[in-house]
Amino acid sequence: MSGDGLSEFDAVLAIARRGSFRAGALELGLSTTALSNLIGKLERRVGVRLFNRTTRSVSLTDAGQTFVDQIRPAVRALHDAMSVARAQLETPSGTLRINAFATGAREVLSPLLLKFLRRYPQVHLDLVTEGRIVDIVEAGFDLGLRSADLVPSDMIAIPIGPPRRFAVVGSPAYFKANGEPRVPPDLLRHACLRIRLPNGALHRWQFQKDGEHLQVDVTGPITLDEASLARISVLDHIGIGYFMESDVRDDIEQGRLVQVLQDWTPPLGRLSLYYPNRRNPSAAFKALIDMARDIG
């Protein structure tokens, strides 16, 4: 829990962000009772109820919503100002919260984030991975990590790593028994692992060659929403999978998987670490940004 004298305001914002007292308490490192007492104290002081509470749900009252909208930027500014004072220390410290999609996180974990932690052991990284796009400011994150084309236009973006690409792969045993696809439409005659997107839709495999774009709505024995599960399934000869190349590069190099249709999977845009303009960044924040620029 913050020791900045803003605990009541932090409590309101955490509950509004998480949608429950229990989740807000977990985020702040408090008991639910302590958090409820903080809110009760604040409501008595301002003279209005900020939350509607039932045994099943918590929601902001109209007054509460107005209150949250007004205090959010002020609280953020106060925390930033206090961080500036602390950042006078030579050694970066504190917590940085990063939102990323899982594949991107795997790509930067070792070359950037773990390297950063070894250099600055007093910094704690809170890395949250999810497929959906979130407003990192609204959700309380310091930085986001997404493909360059998905970074909001009002953010500052730092390209990281080499260009990326998709990889279509299968096990040697699968291709020995079924043959290899030569062009994307051949996939319709193969068992393929279907991909479910975070919004619930099924992903059509994307291909491009010589200006021609193709989408293939593959079919197969299983639908998955997690790359690690898909990798296990492909290694077990269930069918052909569609991955970010970085997720299966070692398997390809070691001969456990065979890559096909390479000429239909050209390089994609790079990853970007992004953040809103910050007038008062902490020492830890500046150190991570500097390291990201160095490896970019």
What phi and psi values does residue 244 have, to the nearest 5 degrees?
Answer: -70, 135
For residue 274, what are the β-bridge partners?
144, 157
Which CATH number does the domain housing residue 21 bear?
1.10.10.10
Q: Would 80 be classed as within a structural domain?
A: no
**Is 176 a residue whose pLDDT tops 80?**
yes
pLDDT at residue 211, rounded to an integer? 87
234 and 276 both lie in a single domain: no
Q: Would 86 be classed as within a structural domain?
A: no
171 and 241 both lie in a single domain: yes
Which pLDDT tens digit goes with each residue over 117-130?
A: 999 999 999 999 98
190 and 242 both lie in a single domain: yes
Give the count of domains, the chain: 3
pLDDT at residue 86, rounded to an integer? 66
Which pLDDT tens digit goes with each residue over 145-156?
A: 998 888 988 999
Instruction: Measure the CA–CA gap between 288 and 282, rounded to whole angstroms.
Output: 10
Q: What is the average pLDDT score of the chain?
A: 90
Which CATH number does the domain housing residue 241 bear?
3.40.190.290
For the chain, give the secondary structure using H, E and C: CCCCCCHHHHHHHHHHHHCCHHHHHHHHCCCHHHHHHHHHHHHHHHCCCCEEECCCCEEECHHHHHHHHHHHHHHHHHHHHHHHHHCCCCCCCEEEEEEECHHHHHHHHHHHHHHHHHHCCCEEEEEEECCCCCCCCCCCCCEEEEEHHHCCCCCEEEEECCCECEEEEECHHHHHHHCCCCCHHHHHHCCECEEECCCCCECCEEEEECCEEEEECCCCCCEECCHHHHHHHHHCCCCEEEEEHHHHHHHHHCCCCEEECHHHCCCECCEEEEECCCCCCCHHHHHHHHHHHHHC
Instruction: Measure the CA–CA gap between 293 and 288, rounded to whole angstroms.
Output: 9
**Is 214 a residue whose pLDDT tops 70?**
yes
Instruction: Measure the CA–CA gap between 272 and 133, rounded to whole angstroms.
Output: 14
pLDDT at residue 82, rounded to an integer? 77
**Is 168 a residue whose pLDDT tops 80?**
yes
pLDDT at residue 53, rounded to an integer? 85
Which range of residues forms the domain containing residue 245? 166-264
Q: Would 227 be classed as within a structural domain?
A: yes
**Is 3 a residue whose pLDDT tops 60?**
no
pLDDT at residue 27, rounded to an integer? 86
Q: Would 102 be classed as within a structural domain?
A: yes
Q: What confidence category does residue 282 fall into, taking pLDDT thresholds of 50, 70 and 90?
A: confident
Instruction: Measure the CA–CA gap between 80 and 87, rounded to whole angstroms.
Output: 10
230 and 253 both lie in a single domain: yes
281 and 199 both lie in a single domain: no
157 and 192 both lie in a single domain: no
Q: Would 43 be classed as within a structural domain?
A: yes
214 and 176 both lie in a single domain: yes
Domain termination residue (choose one: 72, 102, 126): 72
- What six digits make up the tokens of 272? 């970007």
Which pLDDT tens digit goes with each residue over 55-80?
A: 778 899 999 899 999 999 998 888 88
Which pLDDT tens digit goes with each residue over 21-48?
A: 988 889 888 898 999 999 989 989 889 9
- The Cβ of residue 76 has, within 10 Å, a number of other Cβ atoms equal to 15
**Is 10 a residue whose pLDDT tops 60?**
yes
Q: Would 84 be classed as within a structural domain?
A: no
154 and 286 both lie in a single domain: yes
146 and 198 both lie in a single domain: no
pLDDT at residue 4, rounded to an integer? 55
Q: What percent of the chain has pLDDT over 90?
A: 56
Which pLDDT tens digit goes with each residue over 86-120?
A: 665 567 888 999 999 888 899 999 999 999 999 99
> Once rounded to an integer, what is the mean pLDDT over residues 233-255?
96
188 and 101 both lie in a single domain: no
183 and 252 both lie in a single domain: yes
Instruction: Measure the CA–CA gap between 23 and 34, rounded to whole angstroms.
Output: 13
Q: Would 78 be classed as within a structural domain?
A: no
What phi and psi values does residue 134 have, to the nearest 5 degrees?
Answer: -120, 155
Contact assessment for residue 241 and residue 168, using Cβ atoms and an 8 Å cutoff: yes
Q: Would 79 be classed as within a structural domain?
A: no
Domain termination residue (choose one: 26, 42, 72): 72
